[in-house]
């Protein structure tokens, strides 16, 4: 048998094992050095923590752009019980729409129930835009306005004024109760 240990095979030295042991002293010294370094770092960190714990920060803000006091989030905020809050809002709106009261006490403006307001508006009628028309038979007869249309306008204005006064009196009486 041929012993090829330590001989060259194909231009390379043959693979084998080390014949001597590794020097243990540098390995132990490196481990001891790392342990001492870790202990020193722990002592330094412990000292820094104790120093910071015994010396509280000043009142200055850490960030000059930070607000001085905590701010509330913008409206609308998250509702805890939206169904209950919606029901309460609708009840308040219904009470406002169905009762007499002051809209603005300083100016003397009162509010009336919505049903009454609708009745009054239907009695008064809705305003309409009147466009001048040369051939409209209702407004013009032979180039002149009819006397009947001219007489209705002051009567309607008087009735509307009377109704407004009555509503204001009713609203004032209900608001005082």
The total domain count for the chain is: 1
DSSP secondary structure of 80-116 = SSHHHHHHHHHHHHHHHHHS-EEEETTTTEEE--HHH
Q: What is the pLDDT of residue 163?
A: 73
Within-domain flag for 86? yes
Within-domain flag for 69? no
Within-domain flag for 155? yes
Residue 116: CB atoms within 10 A of its CB come to 14
Where are the alpha helices (H) located in the chain, listed in sequence order?
A: 24-54, 82-98, 114-124, 147-176
DSSP helix/strand/coil, 39: helix
* Per-residue pLDDT of the chain in tens (177 residues, 90 and over written 9): 445 455 666 666 667 777 788 889 999 999 999 999 999 999 999 999 999 888 877 666 567 676 677 777 777 778 788 899 899 999 999 988 888 888 888 998 888 998 888 998 999 888 888 777 665 555 444 445 555 545 556 666 666 677 777 766 666 655 555
Within-domain flag for 55? no
Query: Could you list the residue range(s) of the whole structural domain that residue 169 is in?
Result: 82-125+146-176
Within-domain flag for 96? yes
CA–CA distances in Å: residue 64 to residues 19, 57, 59, 61, 72: 68, 15, 12, 6, 19
Q: What is the pLDDT of residue 20?
A: 80
pTM, two decimal places: 0.30
* Rounded CA separation 100/114 (Å): 10
Q: What is the pLDDT of residue 15?
A: 73
Within-domain flag for 47? no
Within-domain flag for 54? no
Q: What is the pLDDT of residue 143?
A: 47
**Residue of 119, 109, 122, 121 lying closest to 171 (CA atoms):** 109
Residue pair 100/169 in contact (Cβ under 8 Å)? The answer is: no
Within-domain flag for 70? no
């Amino acid at each position: 048998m041929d012993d090829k240990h330590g001989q060259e095979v194909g231009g390379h030295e043959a693979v084998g094992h080390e014949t001597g042991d590794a020097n243990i002293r540098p390995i132990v010294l490196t481990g001891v050095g790392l342990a001492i370094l870790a202990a020193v770092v722990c002592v330094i960190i412990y000292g820094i923590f104790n120093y910071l714990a015994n010396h509280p920060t000043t009142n200055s803000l850490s960030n000059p752009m930070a607000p001085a006091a905590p701010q509330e989030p913008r409206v609308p905020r998250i509702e805890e019980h939206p169904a209950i809050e919606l029901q309460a809002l609708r009840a308040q709106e219904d009470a406002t729409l169905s009762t007499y009261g002051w809209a603005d006490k300083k100016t003397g403006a009162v509010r009336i129930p919505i049903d009454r307001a609708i009745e009054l508006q239907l009695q008064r009628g809705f305003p309409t835009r009147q466009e001048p028309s040369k051939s409209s038979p209702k407004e013009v007869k032979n180039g002149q306005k009819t006397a009947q249309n001219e007489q209705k306008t002051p009567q309607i204005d008087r009735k509307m004024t009377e109704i407004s006064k009555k509503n204001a009196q009713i609203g004032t009486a209900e608001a005082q109760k």
